[in-house]
Amino acid sequence: MIQNIIKGLNGYSGALALISKLKLWKYFFIPIIISIIIGSAIAFAAYRLSDNIGRFIAKIWFWDWGKGAFTAFSTVIGVIIIIVIGLILYKHIVMALSAPFMSPVSEKIEAHLTGVAKHNHRKTSFQEQLWRGIRINIRNLVRELLITIPILLLKFIPVVNIFSTILLFCVQGYYAGFGNMDYTLERHYNYKDSINFVRKNRGVAIGNGLVFTLFLLLPFIGVILALPLSVTAASLSTVKLLKNDNQITV
């Protein structure tokens, strides 16, 4: 697992240079606009809702002693909940809507790595790519929320909440990497086989998605660079995995 996570991280090596070399920035223009709009909307919602959630959580403390401290603690937890759920919603919405624009990016990277301009891939239209992106990300959104909510509850337990943070980042990373890898996999596998492929290579997905998630924590610039860099890195890693599985011949 650790080795595969490192492979996912290594995909970022040279990603920025490759984007410039293959002149891929033009493909990221619309996804970046989508990212800014969705990111701004979620940030505004987080700002408006965090205090309300904190006060709601504070109501479970019935005693007068320690009420102020628990309220302050609840406000912090409220902010964390909003940020985590906001990041989950952000990435799945952006990934789903960006699918038709990211598929050509991964295809050009694949052609560059293999030296073959035209492969006998599954042929999909703009609408089919968009629908697959929506389908994959709705599936991942539901599963990620079902896993994340219990992890967030662990944050109320001292010491355990340290480990829950690490687990939370790994879960976020896995589903982010999953979406990034599928832009390449959609040309080679159907929906079910793509899911099985990512499960088999979950470490690579986690490694790719961890960097994606950390980028999103950077104000503004993270929203702009997270998708271009992570999709390029995921394409590099996924093409190598497909070559190892003899799914790509050169």
The tens digit of pLDDT for each residue in 81-125 reads 777 888 889 899 999 999 999 988 999 999 898 877 666 666 777
How many degrees, rounded to 5, is the angle at CA 84 between CA 213 and CA 159? 100
Indicate the range of 11-25, 31-45, 127-141, 170-184 predicted with least confidence. 31-45
Q: Which of 181, 40, 35 is nearest to 98 (CA)?
A: 35
Q: In this predicted structure, what is the pLDDT of residue 246?
A: 67
Q: State the pTM of this model.
A: 0.85
Q: Which of 249, 185, 240, 237 is nearest to 209 (CA)?
A: 237
Q: In this predicted structure, what is the pLDDT of residue 61?
A: 65
Instruction: Tell me the HSE value of 245 on the side-chain side, using a 13 A CA sphere.
Output: 14
The CA distances from residue 18 to 30, 37, 130, 165, in Å, are 19, 26, 25, 33
Q: In this predicted structure, what is the pLDDT of residue 58?
A: 64
Q: Which of 48, 55, 214 is nearest to 40 (CA)?
A: 48
Assess contact for 82 and 42: CB atoms under 8 A: no
Other residues' Cβ atoms within 10 Å of the Cβ of residue 185: 24
Helix, strand, coil percentages in the chain from 3-state DSSP, rounded to 5: 80, 0, 20
Cα separation, 129 vs 100, in Å, equals 5
Cα separation, 184 vs 181, in Å, equals 6
Indicate the range of 59-73, 74-88, 105-119, 222-236 predicted with least confidence. 59-73
Cα separation, 90 vs 99, in Å, equals 14
Average pLDDT rounded to a whole number, residues 155-181? 86
